[in-house]
Structure 1
Amino acid sequence: MITFDAVSYTYPFQSTPAVRDLNFHVAPGEAVLVTGASGSGKSTIIRLLNGLAPWYFQGDLQGKVSVNGHDNRLRPIHGISRDVGTLFQDPEQQFFALNVEDEMAFAHEWRNTQPSLMQHCVQVAMEQFGITSLAGASVHHLSEGQKQKVALASVMSLAPRILILDEPSANLDPDSTAELAKTLLELKQAGMTLLIVDHRLYWLREVVDRVIIMEKGGIAEITDYCRLDECTLQFHYGLRCTRVDDVRASLSNVDDANPYIDVQELHFAYRRNPPLFHGESFRLPRGEIIGLIGPNGAGKTTFARLLTGLQKMDRGSIALGGEKVSTRELLRRTSIVLQNTDHQLHMKTVRSELNSAAASSHAGVRSAEVEQLLREYQLEHLAERHPQSLSGGERQRLVIACGQIRQPYIFILDEPTSGLDGENMAIIADNLTRFASQGGCVLLISHDLELLQRACTCKLELGAPAEKDILKVS
């Protein structure tokens, strides 16, 4: 079904191949996991398989990539896409319509599918992934987890023979991740070929047949999943844990006796939508890493935007350190790391990015502190590099360092480890622990059970939205 035969690929204007001498075969109905450290070539394998490399990215391809017996170099992307469906890590990259129903129908219209068949395919996929209630919703008003489910349903409505998933668990809550694993297992049992790229390993134990471990652009090992349990293997390749405890129930609730951040009678609703908050109050202490948990669509990201002034409350008040502050002042005294790091990088070098963040701080920041954070986040050797030239893990570390250097009253991170390998996750967790131990208040929005287990000292839980069926993959 999938064959890589002596495949090497070099991106335009690069002298070093992104991947080199790849040889592997995936049989029909087989599920294969591709994992490894950030920057090891996993995303390039996806692009070679779905035809984006070299058809879109250009570059130099050596060797042969075959899908369903056809050489990808001899088929245009639209031909390859009839066999291969792709779920990208950032679902917005594959959205073309404004609402969910139109997005579901878009590819069918492009393929000139008969209207009755198109309607049937769309309806079946929406029911399968539990998103029927979102049919008329704007794709821009969905939570990240909901966007991912809409994108996956759109792909599956086209009935591809091969499904590629790039970090599919990154934006899903643990319950939805378990449901996704169940769905993928059912697809595999029905004969679909799966290639899954992910750093999070624990949820795939019952799904994948084999594992390809990438290292520096080459295949380090092709092995069975059970070998990933070996600690030496995890340490050597910077892999995540294969067994993770669900700490959501065991984490203690946040102690609100001595609040540092005091939110009173919070009211907020998006236009033409039911209220997300209708009079709740929250009190958050210093010196803690608080896990903000709850299902997809519960309002976690919205709560973060309200706390940092990116979104204006309908009613309510927020006090920082005992002082009520305006929305404008919230922007100065808080920091937030968004899920998409590209939205927060604007300068020409890593060092200038940190200097710019320091200049926007409500407190004076010395140049020595910039150098210290470069060291703590292992960015010192990248100080003169352009931020957009960094790997995903390096960009994530930079954005978090920029947030921390502003010395915020509250430091909020929205899924900071989505798509990160074990080494990068450890660096981020250790630095957040150090920041909190020095009196900082950290609010960590994450579905990453491994990160919650390693970093969080307590939890704040938001409840489920009214429409329960938007949370499930069934």
Structure 2
Amino acid sequence: MIRFDAVTFRYSEASTPVLDNASLSIPEGELCLVVGATGSGKSTVLRLVNGLAPHFTGGHLTGTVTVDGLDTRTHPPRDLAGTVGVVGQDPLAGFVTERVEDELAYSMEQLGVPAPTMRQRVEEVIDLLGLHRLRHRALTTLSAGEQQRVAIGSALTAGPRVLVLDEPTSALDPHAAEEVLAALLRLVHDLGVTVLLAEHRLERVIQYADSVLRLDTEGALEYGTPAVVLASSPIAPPIVELGRLDGWEPLPLSIRDARRVAGPLRERLRSAQSSVPSGAVAPAAGSIALTARGLRVRYGRMTAIDGLDLDLRAGELTALMGRNGSGKSSLLWALQGTGTRSDGTVRVVGRHGMAGGSSAEHGSGLPGGPGAVVGSDPASGVDPATLAPDAAIRHIVLVPHAPADLLYLESVGAECREADRAAGALPGTASATLERLWPGVPEAAHPRDLSEGQRLALVLALQLAGAPGVVLLDEPTRGLDYEAKRRLGALLAEVTASGGAVLLSSHDVEFVAGTADRVVVLSDGEIITDGPVSDVLTASPGFAPQVARILRPLPFLTVDGVRRAIAGTL
């Protein structure tokens, strides 16, 4: 169905090719998972399949790419529209109508599909993806996860033989992600659709993949069965890392198969149960950095946050979890001060004496440093909604799920310099943090030309320049590979070690398991669970990470925790 013959592709401005003499053949009715580090070319491979590369993106292509017998060199994207369905990383940017039902029908209208067939396909996709309650909603009122499902549905209604998806589950909660993946699996098994799926969260999709296409940054490509390709891959989900650690042969790819071979490992770990599985010692209760009481957020008749009370403490990283539409983003914006707040109070105590702090002054790689002093009396705090922007960034900052919304200057360097100036930080503070998060981002690059992960790193570096006492992040791991998430986790650990409080909204249970101290779970705008990360994640079937599911009832969350426990018994 998809065939690459000696394909080499290089963008016009690049010195090295994304693909170098790559050949492969993906048969009909196969789910192929595309993996690789951020920037390795996963999105480019998808664009080669749907013809956007090189017809739209430019670049130099040698060799041939054929899809269902059509050569993409001689058939531009319009000729492939009925054969290849496309779902990009940013669903909202791809919508062309205002309502869900209209968006589902739009692609068929462009292809001239008869009206009776259009109606039938729309109903089938609505049932397949569970969109019946959304069909009359405006697209702009949907949560990010709901928008992703509509984007997938819009591609499916055209009846494609091939479906290419770029991180389709990145904005979805675990339950919604399972529903979407189950729907894709039905397309593969029942209708023979070939699915090419690029995804960073391999733990969600690897068990469903028939094959894996792995890319490296040198243009090389490896294609084969998941167990074979991932056995030596530097990028692998926790289940594979655990199998490597304990020498499992062959590597299991599902929780069920892993539990069947994990018995001896569980026995070895029982003697280490007294240690903290995640490798982190529970932090001492710090002073209150932010307090919210009776917080309510309403949009017309809809209540997003309903009478919520929350305290964030210095030195603590709190993960905010819950299904799509539970109110996480509304809560973050209400706490930050610029979002809707219908009732209640928010007070930020802040870091006293740190308004102009810098890494040089405080002896740390971060603004603020270990010498930070955090206030202890919430009554002395300030409502962030009353602060001017330059003052607010020294108290509380928010990195939204669309970081590009905060970027407005012409270059990365200009953004960093302006952040230092606004925060009163030493020159170079923001750029140094960016280099740690994402090495090698050119100062002359335009922020809009950066990858999603690079834009996230840039915005986080800008926001941290003022050494804020409270850092809020909305889905900060979207677009990040495992190594980039490791760097992000290390930086956030330094923020809390220096006396900051971090609240991050995330569907990434593996990242939460490895970085958070505390988990707060929202449902319909109310807190239903609030406790230590080890208690909350191990008790929840939906939010439990792979290691917890494999080693249950032992309370281990991460592969690193298992590795340290084993080392401690040797």
Question: By the TM > 0.5 criterion, same fold?
Answer: yes
Question: SS where residue 62 of structure 1 aligns?
Answer: strand
Inter-CA distance 378–196: structure 2 relative to 1 (3 Å threshold):
closer
Kept in 1, the 8 Å contact 2:82–2:111? The answer is no
CA offsets 1:25-51 (integer angstroms, 9 cap, x no match) = 100011111111111111111111111
Question: SS where residue 263 of structure 1 aligns?
Answer: strand
| 1:419, distance to aligned residue in structure 2 (A) | 1.8
Amino acid at match of 1:443: L
CA offsets 1:151-190 (integer angstroms, 9 cap, x no match) = 1111112221111111112111112222223222222111
In the alignment, is residue 339 of structure 1 matched against residue 336 of structure 2? no
| 1:121, distance to aligned residue in structure 2 (A) | 1.2
Q: TM-score, normalised by structure 1?
A: 0.89
Rg larger for: 2
User: For residue 291 of structure 1, what is the aligned residue in structure 2?
Assistant: 319
Unaligned runs of 5+ in 2: 243-254, 256-279, 350-377, 527-541, 543-570
| 1:75, distance to aligned residue in structure 2 (A) | 1.9
User: For residue 296 of structure 2, what is the aligned residue in structure 1?
Assistant: 267
User: For residue 469 of structure 1, what is the aligned residue in structure 2?
Assistant: none
- Give 1:39-438 correspondences, 5 Å limit: 39-190=39-190, 191-216=192-217, 218-227=219-228, 230=231, 233-234=233-234, 238-242=235-239, 259-271=288-300, 273-321=301-349, 322=378, 323-325=381-383, 327-329=385-387, 331=389, 332=392, 333-361=395-423, 364-367=424-427, 369-370=429-430, 372-379=432-439, 382-438=442-498
Kept in 2, the 8 Å contact 1:9–1:61? The answer is yes
Amino acid at match of 1:63: G
Question: SS where residue 214 of structure 2 aligns?
Answer: strand
Select between 340-349 and 28-37 the one with higher mean Cα deviation. 340-349
| 1:412, distance to aligned residue in structure 2 (A) | 1.1
Kept in 1, the 8 Å contact 2:469–2:499? The answer is no
Amino acid at match of 1:440: G
Kept in 1, the 8 Å contact 2:214–2:229? The answer is no
Alignment partner of 2:523 out of 463, 469, 472: 463
Kept in 2, the 8 Å contact 1:292–1:460? The answer is yes
Select between 431-440 and 48-57 the one with higher mean Cα deviation. 48-57
Question: SS where residue 132 of structure 1 aligns?
Answer: coil
| 1:201, distance to aligned residue in structure 2 (A) | 1.0
CA offsets 1:87-109 (integer angstroms, 9 cap, x no match) = 11111132001111111121122
Question: SS where residue 311 of structure 2 aligns?
Answer: strand
Question: SS where residue 507 of structure 2 aligns?
Answer: coil
Inter-CA distance 228–419: structure 2 relative to 1 (3 Å threshold):
farther
Kept in 2, the 8 Å contact 1:294–1:464? The answer is no
Kept in 1, the 8 Å contact 2:283–2:315? The answer is no
Q: 2-side partners of 1:123 and 1:147: how far apart?
A: 17
Kept in 2, the 8 Å contact 1:32–1:212? The answer is yes
Inter-CA distance 205–375: structure 2 relative to 1 (3 Å threshold):
closer
Question: SS where residue 429 of structure 1 aligns?
Answer: helix
Kept in 1, the 8 Å contact 2:126–2:132? The answer is yes
| 1:465, distance to aligned residue in structure 2 (A) | 7.2
Kept in 1, the 8 Å contact 2:9–2:17? The answer is yes
Amino acid at match of 1:298: S
| 1:53, distance to aligned residue in structure 2 (A) | 1.4
Amino acid at match of 1:373: T
Inter-CA distance 96–380: structure 2 relative to 1 (3 Å threshold):
closer
Identify the structure with bigger relative contact order (alpha carbons < 8 Å, sequence gap 6+).
Answer: 1
| 1:354, distance to aligned residue in structure 2 (A) | 2.1
Select between 426-435 and 202-211 the one with higher mean Cα deviation. 202-211
Q: 1-side partners of 2:329 and 2:520: how far apart?
A: 13
Q: TM-score, normalised by structure 2?
A: 0.74
Question: SS where residue 133 of structure 1 aligns?
Answer: coil
User: For residue 20 of structure 2, what is the aligned residue in structure 1?
Assistant: 20
Question: SS where residue 335 of structure 1 aligns?
Answer: strand
CA offsets 1:203-261 (integer angstroms, 9 cap, x no match) = 2233111111101252342232124654x532xxx445346999xxxx99999995321
Inter-CA distance 391–217: structure 2 relative to 1 (3 Å threshold):
farther
Q: 1-side partners of 2:482 and 2:10: how far apart?
A: 26
Kept in 2, the 8 Å contact 1:214–1:220? The answer is yes
Corresponding pairs, count? 456
Inter-CA distance 180–312: structure 2 relative to 1 (3 Å threshold):
closer
- Give 1:23-42 correspondences, 5 Å limit: 23-42=23-42
Q: 1-side partners of 2:289 and 2:324: how far apart?
A: 27
Q: 2-side partners of 1:203 and 1:47: how far apart?
A: 23
Q: 1-side partners of 2:463 and 2:432: how far apart?
A: 14
Amino acid at match of 1:348: E
Q: 1-side partners of 2:124 and 2:285: how far apart?
A: 46
Q: 2-side partners of 1:73 and 1:328: how far apart?
A: 57
Inter-CA distance 193–38: structure 2 relative to 1 (3 Å threshold):
same
Amino acid at match of 1:262: T
CA offsets 1:42-75 (integer angstroms, 9 cap, x no match) = 1111111111112222332211110101111222
Inter-CA distance 256–266: structure 2 relative to 1 (3 Å threshold):
farther
Question: SS where residue 490 of structure 2 aligns?
Answer: helix
Inter-CA distance 342–326: structure 2 relative to 1 (3 Å threshold):
closer
Provide the identity percentage.
Answer: 30
Q: 2-side partners of 1:258 and 1:110: how far apart?
A: 59
CA offsets 1:269-294 (integer angstroms, 9 cap, x no match) = 223x4211232222221211110000
| 1:82, distance to aligned residue in structure 2 (A) | 0.5
Q: 1-side partners of 2:156 and 2:281: how far apart?
A: 40
Kept in 1, the 8 Å contact 2:330–2:340? The answer is no
Q: 1-side partners of 2:515 and 2:210: how far apart?
A: 32
Extract structure 1 runs of 4+ deviating beyond 4 A: 242-246, 251-258
Inter-CA distance 5–51: structure 2 relative to 1 (3 Å threshold):
same
RMSD in angstroms over aligned alpha carbons?
A: 2.7
